[in-house]
Amino acid sequence: MKFAILALALSVWPAPGGSLPSTTPPITIYTNFQHELTVPVERAMETELASILRPVGVDVEWRSLNAGDDNRVAAEIVVVTFRGACETQTQTLFQPESNGLGWTHLSDGEILPFAEVDCDRMRALMQSSLFRLPAADRAAAFGRAIARVMAHELYHILARTMRHGSGLSKPAYSAQELLADEFVFDAREAKALRNPPKTFHAPKPAAGPSETATR
C-alpha cells in the first residue's frame, strides 16, 4: 500500500565527484512539534534531510518555533509543523481518516513556506514494517522517513512547483520506500531545486487535490 503525500494542499543527483557546493544562505527551518521529539529520531531526521538536500546545494539550519528569544536573522524561512507523536513507542490502533502524510499550503494560488507532517499517519503506514526491525534501529528508521516526507514538502516550496516527479517528489510513498537505504530526488527534481523560478502562482484547481491511496 502507498499513502498519498499530497493532501489538503500540496503536500538529486549529486554532481559527478560529489555534492554541489552551497551558493546560497541556508534555509532556516522552524519546527513546531505537538509532542517532544526523542533524540534518536531528531538526530536521524536532521542527518537524513542534510544528505538529501546537500547534493543539490541546499543547506538547512534548524530552529524551534517555540524559542521566543531567538532574534537571529534568516535569509529564507520555512515553518514545519509535526502533528501527532513522532516516535515509535506509540502504537497506532486506528485507521487514519485521510492518507496524506504531508501538506504544503497555498493561498490565492501561491505556494506558502508552511508545511505539515503527520507522524501518526506515517506510523500507521509503517508500523508493521517498523516492528520487523530490531528495536534499537526503529527510531533512526522513523527519523529518516520523516526527513523524506519533509524533503517532499520542501521540494514544493523551494522549487515553487505543484508538479510531482518520480523521485522524492512522487505523489505517494510506500512503507518500503520510506524505510529504504536510499531515497533521493531524480535528475529533473534536482534541476528544479537548483534553478527555481523567482515567483510562481498556481492555478486554482476545480476540485481538491487527490487523497486516494494507490496500490
Per-residue pLDDT of 172-192, as tens digits, reads: 999 999 999 999 999 999 999
Per-residue pLDDT of 86-130, as tens digits, reads: 998 877 655 555 568 999 999 988 899 999 999 999 999 999 999
CA distance 127 to 194: 35
CA distance 145 to 155: 15
Strand 60-64's sheet: what is its strand order? 60-64, 27-33, 76-83, 110-118, 102-107
What DSSP line would sit under 16-29, residue for residue?
A: TTBPPPP-SPPEEE
Radius of gyration of the chain (CA): 16
**Could you confirm whether domain 2-194 is CATH 1.10.150?**
no
Q: In a 3-state reduction of DSSP, which class is residue 101?
A: coil
* pTM for this entry: 0.81
Q: Which helix (H) or strand (E) holds 80?
A: strand 76-83
CA distance 113 to 79: 6
What DSSP line would sit under 140-187, residue for residue?
A: HHHHHHHHHHHHHHHHHHHHT-----SSTT-SEEEHHHHHSS-----H
